[in-house]
Structure 1
Amino acid sequence: MKKYKDFVCVGFAFALSTVSCEAKNDAKIHVSQLGYTPNSDKKAMVVPDGKVDSFYLCDAASGKICYRGKLSPKKYWDLSGEDLQWADFSSYDKSGEYYLSVGGKKSYNFTISSKAYDDLTLWAHKTFYLWRCGIDCTEEFSNFHGQSYAHKAGHPDVNVIVHPSAESAGRKAGSTVKSPGGWYDAGDYGKYTVNSAIALESMLMSAEAFPSFYKNFDMEIPESTNNTVDVLDEAMYNLEWMLTLIDTVDGCVAHKVTTKRFVPMVLPAETNVQRYMIGKSTATNYGFAAIMAKASRLYKNNPDYPDFSEKAMRYAKRAYEWAEKNPGIIFHNPDSIGTGSYTARFPEQFRFWADVELYLATKDKKYIDLTAIDTFQYDVPTWQLPASFALMSLIVGVENNMVDGDLKKKTELHFDKLANLLYDRMEKDPGRFPLFKFEWGSNGGLANAGTILLLQYKKTGDKKYLKAAQDITTYMIGRNATGYCFVTGFGQKSPMFIHDRRSTGDGIAVPVPGLLAGGPTLDAIRDCDTYVYNYDHPKSEYPTREYPARAYNDEICSYSTNEVAINWSAPFLMLLAGINENSK
């Protein structure tokens, strides 16, 4: 693409600074609504209205032109059903507030600033505090720009009934157990072992991969005054709950703690329906073993949690042994249960993940089969397919000199292939989309893709991977076919009616801040046709039932596109931590 000279808005006698951007607002110029850091790639997605070939970067206060550039040639994006052009102003790095003008239309205002993502990064982390089960979330730690999101504790979970599906050697059906704490999983009030392990993997990996960022990062949570980095304090709140799930007699780990059916859209303290410990499966045990082994390593010799590391490793091994003795057990909801199933159909992926984490924690080679790493087709990890999380953990181990020999060679080979698969998809796709498809929770998949590219940048030093990760970040905060910043409380156009019981029940117009909406997908576009919840808001139609990149519906009923979940928010906070560590 032909490059135009960039201009400072003042100081040049002949310059474009004397020219004003006369433009009207237009929803078809998609920018990062929170802006760009000065040294990042800066791109905007334009859906052209007629024939246009130039764009202008304009000072938001004066309207004067600061930079002009040529739009890329028009290309059709079959995932959005639109012609696209790109405005690239990466070479412009002057801090300030701007908008883009294209063909007489203008974008939302945005900043170029080294602090563009500071508040977003804080709340992407801090929102996990507001997900805590069983405690009062107090105003001191719940204030967002003057609005309190404090709420009373719900679900103490000290009288949980063991469902017949969870019965094990030391836990009889119908007996009661204590299972307090942990995070609510998503828009409901369930606590799920598989998804908790997945979310914790991203959170703990973030702490390990980006220690410089976390060294002085204050999440403003109750534990912030101790000596542990805050992200590990927050993770501990969920880890301690997970320890309640194992039967110490035989090592069986329960699959979830929920009610029998989803409860109404009210605050946690406003529902007291009986809760149950439900289910067991091979994958559940392997996932528990994986995250406890990882946590045992990261909290070793931590004076704030002196007994945790040894206990976590002991329970990890017990859970692993149970899974080895009970292969092929797949959890499905019993007839009496209607909460999330998290049916993990590929326990071999969970076993590989557990093997990797146990090896990294113990250095016991019995956990590593060098042929296993060649077994999987690696792509962006999901809660169903965590093998790529194991590969990511290994590559962090390589960077920290914990992996060597043939295992190191194989790890680097497979990780290079994975990172380049994602990078090449972005470069070839007209919409710069790195995933195989817009699956349910596409924003979580994008966040995971971004973290993989960041780890590849750390490994190689090649800035093309960092720029790709930066580009993914801008997608999630506005530079996408829907025009939404997908994070609640941020941007000029963000989700207002997310599928989240706290946000619906609190009576506050703006949802709980810092939550990442699931994002576009065509996987379940009839959710708003068939589900009715207790809220007074007219339902709108999906904008499309044909083009997945635009298939997003900001409605409470749209659990497929507009729910929130810990396994989507966790890689998003990791992505932002890495961007902050490497982009300032």
Structure 2
Amino acid sequence: MKSVFFLLIFLSILSCAPAKKQSASIHINTIGFLPDAAKKASLTGEAGQFFVKEAATNELVFEGTARGPFSQDDVDQDVWIADFSTFTNPGKFYLELPDGARSVEFEIGNDVYKPAFYTSMRAFYLWRCGMAVEGTHNGQHFAHNACHLEDGYEDYLGKADSRRDGTGGWHDAGDYGKYTVNAGITVGMLFMAWEQFQHQLEPIALDLPETAVGFPDFLKELKWETDWLLKMPYPDGSGRVSHKLTRTNFAPFIKAHEDQEKRFFTEWSSAATASFVAVMAQAARYFKPYDEAYAAQCLDAAILSYQILKANPEHKRFEQGDFKTGGYQSADVDDRLWAAAELWKTTGDAEYLHDFEQGATAMDFKIDENWDWSDVSNLGMFAYVLSERGGQNPEIVEKLKQNILAVADQIVEQGDADVYGRPLGGRYYWGCNGTVARQVMNLQTAFRISPDESYRETALDAIGHLFGRNYYNRSYVTGLGANPPLYPHDRNSGSDEVEHPWPGYLVGGGHSATGWKDEQEDFATNEIAINWQAALVYALAGFVEN
């Protein structure tokens, strides 16, 4: 795809650009700002006065004095903060310093996050497996033919060379595998976005093929994944759910439709089965207004799989064996808790309510500030607290609310203390950018309990960090914002003939504050993945206006 030649040209352009075009000393959310929201930039190097100027006319519209310096060890920098929150005029602007250093152009307006939401959500469509996909972004055309039409074989279920239908769903990450556990948290977060922001999301057209007649586009895309998930239970009617459907090893960097190696249903795991239950219970609720029969099918599948969990209370771990693809090994306590919460929320059945409240009590009503696919208990806790069904134990509700607010306050404090507004503080690891986005769910949930504007401001800081207000002064999302990643660890991007990567994908981020590498081979910091992507979509969904 992208050659060293293009990289050299890109670097040459940067080195020859006049200083006033863009300075690495001004780190800012390059997507833009809502008019009435906080607006901050981080400045490195000596800083004092700063100016906001209109992009079209270069007219001075605001000036201020940066606060600082603030020293931060993990980035080994002194940083000043330029705050122009009181400036609310819509339009396109840039920041300028007295020495002529100048930021990229940014926009202030009510709909600044809508294009980013559209591209990031439509990225799921471009991840579709089992059908041809195509799209155009910034004049570049991206496409692959229908792929993995032989999914999948049952050799590891005791049926050598026997094939049953496992087509569909989304490719999981930079590879072409499909994993039940990671699908669970992904769809779960997207359903929560729908629950909380439906009035904002329902009118948005995503320009999708007609694969779910009568569904709003947002739910239409989710149904593509739930259709595949409904194929993952064992065909024997036991309710056990295969952990994944993949090759035994990762495909090389080839196009999706060129990947012809056999792919297999694996043995079940209790974590995958519980995650399946939770998602199917959600699907039964949210799909019912559009397809009652399909919603009933989802609920029946959820109840059946919950029964096998109750009959097998021990953790059933998936053993990798021959498989070298993603493990997604996870304890199942959190998944079972989430499953019970969603089944109760859908049905009102006292058994599920009891199971959830018993599990939440055993966890001491803990709310996680730093979480991902391996611990989805937050999804269960949030579902329970925010439910309007009624019947919850008021003491449990109150304890959970207190813990939700305490964790949200901690996230706000961390974001305020970080020179780049990063609410995860000084923790870095595989996929940490996804966690930064996922913390927005903690904050939005807290805001629903107690409408403190600091929660939404920190949520916007998290988004701003991902789109340029960071150490690198770059967007972490392909095709969006200023100087976005060019070389994600992604087989679609790495195998085609298009110069730019497939658009809208959040890359994982460095394992230290200065450790991110925009290199295709660096899967540990530059891969993409559906669970990080869903967190980004959720974060943007709360600030989309129509």
Query: Equivalent residue for 1:510?
Result: 500
* Distance in 1 (alpha carbons) for counterparts of 2:349 and 2:396: 13
Question: Does the CA contact (< 8 Å) of 2:21 and 2:104 recur in 1?
Answer: no
Shift in CA distance, 223/409, structure 1 to aligned 2, threshold 3 Å:
farther
2:88 equivalent to 1:101: no
Deviations 1:55-112 (A, max 9, x none): 1112223333221111112111122121111111011111222221235122112122
Question: Does the CA contact (< 8 Å) of 2:415 and 2:461 recur in 1?
Answer: no
1:112 to 108, 111, 120: 108
* Distance in 2 (alpha carbons) for counterparts of 1:386 and 1:332: 21
Q: What is the CA-CA distance between 1:422 and the residue it aligns to?
A: 1.3
* Distance in 1 (alpha carbons) for counterparts of 2:391 and 2:175: 39
2:410 equivalent to 1:421: yes
Q: What is the CA-CA distance between 1:41 and the residue it aligns to?
A: 0.8
Query: Equivalent residue for 2:8?
Result: none
Alignment of 1:25-44 (within 5 A): 25-44=22-41
* Distance in 1 (alpha carbons) for counterparts of 2:382 and 2:369: 11
2:95 is paired with a residue whose SS is strand
2:138 equivalent to 1:145: yes
Alignment of 1:165-180 (within 5 A): 167=157, 172=159, 174-180=161-167
Q: What is the CA-CA distance between 1:404 and the residue it aligns to?
A: 6.7
Question: Does the CA contact (< 8 Å) of 2:140 and 2:500 recur in 1?
Answer: no
Q: What is the CA-CA distance between 1:28 and the residue it aligns to?
A: 2.3
TM-score by length of 2: 0.90
* Distance in 1 (alpha carbons) for counterparts of 2:409 and 2:141: 44
1:332 is paired with a residue whose SS is coil
* Distance in 2 (alpha carbons) for counterparts of 1:270 and 1:96: 46
2:420 equivalent to 1:461: no
Q: What is the CA-CA distance between 1:368 and the residue it aligns to?
A: 2.9
Q: What is the CA-CA distance between 1:45 and the residue it aligns to?
A: 1.1
* Distance in 2 (alpha carbons) for counterparts of 1:116 and 1:224: 29
Q: What is the CA-CA distance between 1:192 and the residue it aligns to?
A: 0.3
1:307 to 293, 303, 306: 293
TM-score by length of 1: 0.85
1:489 to 470, 476, 479: 479
* Distance in 2 (alpha carbons) for counterparts of 1:223 and 1:456: 36
* Distance in 1 (alpha carbons) for counterparts of 2:20 and 2:527: 35
- Code of the residue aligned with 1:44 in structure 2: it is A
Query: Equivalent residue for 1:410?
Result: 399
1:498 to 473, 484, 488: 488
Query: Equivalent residue for 1:162?
Result: 154
1:379 is paired with a residue whose SS is coil
Shift in CA distance, 561/157, structure 1 to aligned 2, threshold 3 Å:
same
Alignment of 1:259-298 (within 5 A): 259-298=247-286
Shift in CA distance, 230/24, structure 1 to aligned 2, threshold 3 Å:
closer
Question: Does the CA contact (< 8 Å) of 1:209 and 1:396 recur in 2?
Answer: no
2:77 to 73, 78, 82: 82
Shift in CA distance, 111/283, structure 1 to aligned 2, threshold 3 Å:
same
- Code of the residue aligned with 2:197 in structure 1: it is F
Query: Equivalent residue for 1:356?
Result: 341
2:261 is paired with a residue whose SS is coil
* Distance in 1 (alpha carbons) for counterparts of 2:194 and 2:25: 37
Query: Equivalent residue for 2:221?
Result: 234
Q: What is the CA-CA distance between 1:324 and the residue it aligns to?
A: 3.1
Question: Does the CA contact (< 8 Å) of 1:394 and 1:411 recur in 2?
Answer: no
Shift in CA distance, 402/453, structure 1 to aligned 2, threshold 3 Å:
farther
2:380 equivalent to 1:394: no
Deviations 1:146-191 (A, max 9, x none): 3321221110134x22243xx3xxx645532210100000011000
Query: Equivalent residue for 2:174?
Result: 187
Q: What is the CA-CA distance between 1:201 and the residue it aligns to?
A: 0.4
1:408 is paired with a residue whose SS is helix
Q: What is the CA-CA distance between 1:411 and the residue it aligns to?
A: 3.3
2:514 to 550, 570, 579: 550
Alignment of 1:557-572 (within 5 A): 557-572=521-536
Q: What is the CA-CA distance between 1:403 and the residue it aligns to?
A: 5.2
Query: Equivalent residue for 1:380?
Result: 370
- Code of the residue aligned with 2:329 in structure 1: it is T
How many residues in Structure 1 have an aligned counterpart in Structure 2? 519
Alignment of 1:249-264 (within 5 A): 249-264=237-252
Bigger CA drift: 144-153 or 202-211? 144-153
2:305 is paired with a residue whose SS is helix
Q: What is the CA-CA distance between 1:456 and the residue it aligns to?
A: 2.3
Q: What is the CA-CA distance between 1:445 and the residue it aligns to?
A: 0.5
Q: What is the CA-CA distance between 1:473 and the residue it aligns to?
A: 1.1
Q: What is the CA-CA distance between 1:124 and the residue it aligns to?
A: 0.9
Bigger CA drift: 453-462 or 509-518? 453-462
2:207 is paired with a residue whose SS is coil
Query: Equivalent residue for 1:61?
Result: 56
Shift in CA distance, 251/154, structure 1 to aligned 2, threshold 3 Å:
same
The alignment's C-alpha RMSD in Å is 2.1
Listed as ranges, the gaps of 5+ residues in structure 1 are 1-21, 522-547
Query: Equivalent residue for 1:322?
Result: 308
Q: What is the CA-CA distance between 1:419 and the residue it aligns to?
A: 1.8
Question: Does the CA contact (< 8 Å) of 1:218 and 1:224 recur in 2?
Answer: no
1:106 is paired with a residue whose SS is coil
Bigger CA drift: 411-420 or 34-43? 411-420
2:282 is paired with a residue whose SS is helix
* Distance in 2 (alpha carbons) for counterparts of 1:172 and 1:580: 48
Question: Does the CA contact (< 8 Å) of 2:369 and 2:442 recur in 1?
Answer: no
Question: Does the CA contact (< 8 Å) of 1:133 and 1:184 recur in 2?
Answer: yes
Q: Percent identity?
A: 29
